[in-house]
Amino acid sequence: MVSRADGPGPAAPGEGFDADELREAEHLLSGTGSGGDGGITVPWPMLFRRRMHHKVAGSDRYQWWVLWTVLAGLLSVNITFTVFVVALPQVAHQLHTTVTTLTWTSTGPLLAFGVAAPILGKLGDLRGYKRLYLWGLSGAALSVVLTASAPTAGVLIAARLFDGVQGAATGAASMALVLQAFSHEDRVKAMGWWALVGAGGPVLGVTIGAPIIQYYGWRALFWGELPLMAAAAVLAVIVLPSHDRAATNAAEAQVRTGRAVTPAPATADPETAPAVPASPWRQLDWAGSIALSTSVALGLLGLNVAPTWGFGAPQTLALFAVSIGIAVYFVLHERRAPRPLIPLRYFRRRNFVFPLGARAFVNFAYMGGFFLFPILMERIYGYSETQAGLLSTARPLMFSLSAPIAGYAAVKVGERWSIVAGAGVLTVSMLVFTQVGANPSVVLIIMALALSGLGIGVSTPSTASSAANEVAEDELGVMSAAQLLITQIGVVAGIQVMVTVQASSHGGAGTLASFHSAYLVGAVVAFAALVCGFFVKDTPRGQRAAPVDIAVH
């Protein structure tokens, strides 16, 4: 243990503590007494963490430390996503179930994410993004343990559902932490690196994880995740800012970026205002959160079951109708809520609405085409699963390689033309797949795949940063959750709609013409993303951005 006296005089460099940390130390040592000279006895791990944090935070590249720390956590969480889908036949055999049943290990987390994301994103705004991020990593570790030790299919599905909840926590908090650390002008660069890990992590997982599954089994794959998560958590504790309140986070961003932040005006007499802030649970817009979560979850469920039940089936239409009805209630509620979950004023801003629209449309076309490609290669061209899988990696590989470069390029050419160019390239890729003949060259196929990856890689950093720049600093958490939600809606819609079009084509589900029809739908939706891009305004550069208004709750 190390003591620091509270007497007069400045603290030595690197030994200052926040009031919250001192209170935490006192709480940890409750009942043990303080130092004999009236000082506070601080646990040495806390002192070590504090000294290390001061060294990192004092760097003029601190925002990049935050980015690398968050990306380490993102990589530790998403590295097994794709390879686990590949392992489902082996898992089904060992757990004495069917692959159809285990598809809930993929669709279930999407629904859980949709339910949890709005609430957790807002809690990050109220309680602090670092705290939410660490909760998410802890939940991810628990999910990994439950997955690796699952004795039955039911336990495995439940573990993956829980994984969707922690994914909402880590996803919203980590994106908010990165956006908060960077200035408006440089956020597009950070989002490029974010996209690299988001797309490249699963590719790396397939490369490393496939041999692990083959020689050691699928359970070993998840046990191997735990050290990665532990290292990411330790790094997060040291590097990430420790402030608990979104207002404090906004003030920290003001100091770091040099921009003025307009404080929220007082809403009560200072003499009668409570000394302690209201509990975040009481500040949360529960009715709005539950309404949005339910609407999104029912919409995603409808998209998931539509290929089986049919898009025109009464059950499917009922799910969509209830989802839309609850969404209407959400909008009406938010208009009169004193502390709205998502202030509706943002939906009147073109740089919020059109980037989110482009993001949804781009992911629709990209993931719909991604899902159909192996089926096309195996059914029409006679490729093996391994051969089709290897070819498929060209798409995410180009995505991950192009995204960081696109982030820096957007600083020069602007977000508008980045989105337009990315969506345009993706449209061309979809059109190429509508024209492939009975004996296409492998070079043409790879080029078309690379164009898909290039298109989403170029557009993603600009859509993410443009929408984020429209949001107040203390609402980045719920905004990040909204971005991730709109991405998932686009992904699920793209897969289910394009698969349904392919399966119900007049030319026959197993014909080349059926795939042409599905990719034509993808091309139309990708073009819609291009149109959205034309309405996006570039972020002003070469001058300080306008002050950010902190919303009054």
Reported confidence tier of residue 12, pLDDT bands at 50, 70, 90? very low
Helix (H, G, I), strand (E, B) or coil at 273: coil
> What is the structure's pLDDT at 7?
40
More confident call, 473 vs 263: 473
Residue 168 pLDDT greater than 60, yes or no: yes
pTM of the model: 0.77
Mean pLDDT of 513-530: 93
More confident call, 357 vs 478: 357
More confident call, 144 vs 99: 144
**96-105, 114-123, 391-400, 422-431 — which one is most confidently predicted on average?**
422-431
More confident call, 477 vs 252: 477
Number of Cβ within 10 Å of residue 217's Cβ equals 15
What is the full DSSP assignment across 157-202?
HHHHHHHHHHHHHHHHHHHHHHHHHS-GGGHHHHHHHHHHHHHHHH
More confident call, 294 vs 553: 294
Indicate the fold that domain 350-539 takes in CATH. Answer: Growth Hormone; Chain: A; (1.20.1250)
More confident call, 199 vs 77: 77
Q: Where are the domains of the chain?
A: 42-256, 286-340, 350-539
What is the rounded average pLDDT for all residues in the chain? 79
Q: CA-to-CA distance for 102 and 86, rounded, in angstroms?
A: 12
Reported confidence tier of residue 525, pLDDT bands at 50, 70, 90? very high
**Can you name the residues that pair with 491 across neighbouring β-strands?**
none
Residue 16 pLDDT greater than 50, yes or no: no
Reported confidence tier of residue 553, pLDDT bands at 50, 70, 90? very low
Q: Which of 8-12, 187-191, 206-210, 505-509 bottoms out in mean pLDDT, i.e. has the lowest?
A: 8-12
Residue 497 pLDDT greater than 60, yes or no: yes
pLDDT digit string, tens, across residues 298-334: 888 888 888 778 888 899 899 999 999 999 998 998 8
Reported confidence tier of residue 375, pLDDT bands at 50, 70, 90? confident
184 CB-near residues (< 8 Å, 6+ apart): 257, 465, 469, 539, 545
> What is the structure's pLDDT at 274?
44
Residue 23 pLDDT greater than 60, yes or no: no
- Strands, E, within 247-371: which ranges? 261-262
Q: Could you check whether 42-256 and 350-539 share the same CATH topology?
A: yes
CATH number of 42-256: 1.20.1250.20
Mean pLDDT of 193-221: 81
419 CB-near residues (< 8 Å, 6+ apart): 355, 358, 459, 462, 463, 466, 529, 530, 532, 533, 536
In this structure, the strands spanning 40-42 and 2-4 are: antiparallel
Mean pLDDT of 271-286: 57
Residue 96 pLDDT greater than 80, yes or no: yes
pLDDT digit string, tens, across residues 219-272: 888 898 899 999 999 898 888 886 544 445 444 444 444 444 444 444 444 444
Number of Cβ within 10 Å of residue 457's Cβ equals 30
> What is the structure's pLDDT at 47?
58
> What is the structure's pLDDT at 363?
92
pLDDT digit string, tens, across residues 117-148: 888 888 888 888 888 999 999 999 999 999 99
Residue 1 pLDDT greater than 50, yes or no: no
Residue 15 pLDDT greater than 60, yes or no: no
Mean pLDDT of 542-546: 49
Q: What percent of the chain has pLDDT over 90?
A: 27
Q: What radius of gyration do the chain's Cα atoms show? A: 25
